[in-house]
Amino acid sequence: MAKWHFWGEKEFSDVYENIYIRSVMEDWFSIVFKIVKEFRKVKAVGKKQIVDIGCGEGHTTKQILDRLDEHYECDLLEPNENALASAEAFLIPENNIRESYPRTLATFKPEKKYDIVFTSHTNYYWALNQKDYDVQLTKLLSFLNENGKLIILTLPEESDHYRIMLKQTYPSFNYAQYIISFYKKLGLRVEVNKLKMRMYVGDILSTKKFFDLKIFYRFIHNTDSYPSDKESREFLKKIRKCQKNDYLDFKDYSIVILKK
Ligand SMILES: C[S@@+](CC[C@H](N)C(=O)[O-])C[C@H]1O[C@@H](n2cnc3c(N)ncnc32)[C@H](O)[C@@H]1O
């Protein structure tokens, strides 16, 4: 089973507290509302069958499911067993959860087809090389029934998340643009919503201290090592260059792929 380093960082609660405070709630919820709209549009015979790939602790899952009527069943897939256990505990009381799978996308063997296959910000971890990545993109399609919809939420190449990095952390086949062109080349219908996802950095920019800056560096570079002061200064320079009115815009693309 893949070990995902990001979750290891959960030991450092400061990383997450800082990030959640940073993100603009209204931007995130307008993304959630867009996704809910897409879920609602899907026509299904009987209850809508949904799977959330890499649901984490289920926060995004719950934000979406809470806004659907009751005619759905949702399966959860998440390789991190602790995260999956939290997701179950968090979702089961109020949402229609059917099965939970402690698997990666690569090791998942679905028992049925789905009307909606959803994944939010997990594509960075599916594969280490382009060939395996393409295998995962193809595999996702095989989970869908005839009228099914695949919905992928991910960052575009022009995201400030990528622009402020000191070193490239994720390969470019992770970018939204790669996924869009992959599915278009297969002749599928691909709809893209380009969304705003701002992050507040006014706190970092208004102090000479490095504490929050270094935490932010670790989040952006998906690492648990702290940057040196020299790296921190370079990172700060990039943030200063990219920010507009104390905000970075990470952006978010919702990519909707229809089988027909
Ligand atoms: C940035 S979090 C996103 C969590 C959740 N989808 C959300 O939007 O709140 C990435 C998630 O992907 C999961 N993950 C890592 N590798 C994965 C893989 N190979 N297949 C599926 N999920 C994976 C991680 O364990 C983690 O929960």
Q: For the residues of 124-146, what is the DSSP string, one character each?
A: GGS-SSHHHHHHHHHHHHHTEEE
Does 154 sit in the ligand 1 pocket, CB within 6 Å? no
What is the pLDDT of the chain when averaged over all its residues? 92
pLDDT in tens, 189-217: 999 999 999 999 999 999 999 999 998 99
Distance CA 144, CA 146 (A): 7
DSSP type of residue 54:
T
Q: Quick one: pLDDT at residue 16?
A: 54
Residues 201 and 246: beta-carbon distance below 8 Å: yes
Whether residue 105 contacts residue 87, with contact meaning beta carbons closer than 8 Å, is answered with no
| Helices (runs of H) and strands (runs of E) counted in the chain | 11, 9
Q: Is the CB of residue 218 less than 8 Å from the CB of residue 226?
A: yes
Q: Name the pLDDT band for 70 (thresholds 50, 70, 90).
A: confident
Distance CA 189, CA 149 (A): 10
pLDDT tens-place string over residues 129-182: 999 999 999 999 999 999 999 999 999 999 999 999 999 989 999 999 999 999
Alpha-helical (H) ranges within the chain are 5-8, 13-22, 25-41, 59-65, 81-91, 130-142, 160-163, 176-185, 202-205, 211-220, 229-242
Tell me the C-alpha distance between 213 and 14, whole Å: 12
pLDDT for 9 equals 40
90 lines ligand 1 (CB under 6 A): no
CB-based burial, 104-128: b 16+ in 10 Å, e otherwise: bbeebebeeebbbbbbbebbbbbbe
Q: Residue 226: how many CA atoms within 13 Å on its side-chain side? A: 11
Q: Do the Cβ atoms of 150 and 256 come closer than 8 Å?
A: yes
- Better pLDDT: 259 or 127: 127
Using a 6 Å cutoff on CB, does residue 125 contact ligand 1? yes
Query: Would the CB of 55 count as within 6 Å of ligand 1?
Result: yes
- Give, for ligand 1, the residue of 122, 221, 252 to mutate: max count of ligand atoms closer than 8 Å to Cβ: 122
* Gap from CA of 229 to ligand 1 centroid (Å): 31
- Give the ligand 1 atom nearest the CA of 106: 19
Kindly tell me if the per-residue pLDDT of 26 is higher than 70: yes
Banded model confidence at residue 260, pLDDT cuts 50, 70, 90: low
pTM for this model (two decimals): 0.93
Pocket flag, ligand 1, residue 123 (CB < 6 Å): no
CATH 3.30.70.260 given to domain 25-200+250-258: no
Coil, strand or helix at 257: strand
- Say what percent of the chain tops pLDDT 70: 92
pLDDT value at residue 5: 46
Q: Is the CB of 31 under 6 A from ligand 1?
A: no
Ligand 1 center from residue 179 Cα (angstroms): 17
Segment 81-94 shows an average pLDDT of: 94
Count of other CB atoms within 10 angstroms of residue 183? 21
Phi and psi at residue 135, to the nearest 5°? -60, -40
Q: How would you classify residue 251: left for phi > 0, otherwise alpha for psi between -120 and 50, otherwise beta?
A: left
